[in-house]
Amino acid sequence: MSVEQLPVESPREEDAERHAGVLRYYELAKRAEWHMADMPWSEIPPIPETRGSVQKRARRTDVWRSVITQQYQADILAVKMSAQLLNLAPHHEAKLYYSTMVQDESRHVEAWLKLLEEVGGTAERDPYLDELARMFLDDLDMLEEKVFLMQVFFERLIIPRFRLIARSSRGTVLEDLCNRLTIDDGIHHGAGMAYERVLLENATKRTRGRLVSAANRMLPIFVEHALWRPPARAWIGRAMHDRDVQRLREDLEDGVRLANSLGLDVSDVELPFS
């Protein structure tokens, strides 16, 4: 289905059962919705506090600032992407669902902005996230491809990153936020899986093939993004590289298994590590 030819379907014509999966995620998203005031602002420190010399503390803050900047940048992409999905999705249930995702992603950006204020502003942009943004927003022209890369892959692959950040920032606002995002992105991913199933029900072999080739274009950029370290984090990057690569390989294999469970023949997907 190309973006220009999307049909407009009225809710009454829909087969309710067919779309029940997506609707379930809409209801789940409504129940899981949270507000900025629920977060422990001013009760606990924004980021982990470091003892030591002024230089050491400044270096630590730079690390956290760059971690937060990268997630902020990712959520800006998610705001734009969810707005596109809301506009493009022809199905009533999917539009309902995406109306909640747009709100989630924009609330995520709001929270990152507040955290950035606390740590002294943004750090360097991740060029690979910019590349992913161009690909997702401008280069892909089918709804099936956008849902597939954004929700099935990207949102699934960033969840372990939130867990990792939460684990190294115990007792901070940053940890609280990452725990919320783990839940939210779990819902975003689950909804994407459910909707992709609906979209692929009558998909042609050619459409399925396009999804696999889009995944092949995206995965190497995602790897660069996941392993990218700005100067502030370069020293950590070197020390953690092997573990990062191992973890990333497992995550990508998971992503490929999910694609397989959608009935896509992913034997042509080339994992960037193999």
> Based on CB atoms, which residue is closest to Fe ion, 64 or 112?
112
Q: Give the x-and-dash track for 44-73 against Fe ion (CB under 5 A).
A: ------------------------------
125 close to 73: Cβ distance less than 8 angstroms: yes
Residue with the two structure tokens 């995520």: 108
Structure token pair of residue 38: 């629920």
From 46, 75, 172, 233, residue interacting with Fe ion (rule: CB under 5 A): 75
Structure token pair of residue 129: 């996230």
> Based on CB atoms, which residue is closest to Fe ion, 144 or 155?
155
- 105 near Fe ion (CB under 5 A): yes
Sequence-separated (6 or more) residues with CB below 8 Å from residue 253: 271
> Based on CB atoms, which residue is closest to Fe ion, 78 or 157?
78
25 close to 97: Cβ distance less than 8 angstroms: yes
Window 172 to 191, contacts with Fe ion (CB under 5 A): 185, 188
From 19, 107, 108, 210, residue interacting with Fe ion (rule: CB under 5 A): 108
> Based on CB atoms, which residue is closest to Fe ion, 19 or 108?
108
**Residue 142: helix, strand or coil by DSSP?**
strand
Minimal distance, residue 155 CB to Fe ion, in Å: 5
> Based on CB atoms, which residue is closest to Fe ion, 145 or 185?
185
Instruction: Return left, alpha or beta for 120; rule: phi > 0 is left, psi -120 to 50 is alpha, else beta.
Output: left
- 132 near Fe ion (CB under 5 A): no
Residue with the two structure tokens 């959520």: 75
Residue 261: CB atoms within 10 A of its CB come to 12
CA separation for the pair 140, 154 (Å, rounded): 14
Window 143 to 162, contacts with Fe ion (CB under 5 A): 155
Q: Kindly indicate which of the ranges 3-11, 103-111, 198-206, 212-220 contains the residues binding Fe ion, using the contact rule CB under 5 A.
A: 103-111
- 93 near Fe ion (CB under 5 A): no
Minimal distance, residue 239 CB to Fe ion, in Å: 28
CA separation for the pair 274, 29 (Å, rounded): 37
From 76, 78, 187, 194, residue interacting with Fe ion (rule: CB under 5 A): 78
> Based on CB atoms, which residue is closest to Fe ion, 78 or 147?
78
Minimal distance, residue 251 CB to Fe ion, in Å: 16
26 close to 107: Cβ distance less than 8 angstroms: no
Spell out a b/e string for 49-78, using b for 16 or more CB atoms within 10 Å of the CB, else e: eeeeeeeeeeebbbbbbbbbbbbbbbbbbb
Instruction: Return the amino acid letter for 32.
Output: A
Minimal distance, residue 13 CB to Fe ion, in Å: 29
> Based on CB atoms, which residue is closest to Fe ion, 184 or 210?
184
Residues that bind Fe ion (CB under 5 A): 75, 78, 105, 108, 155, 185, 188
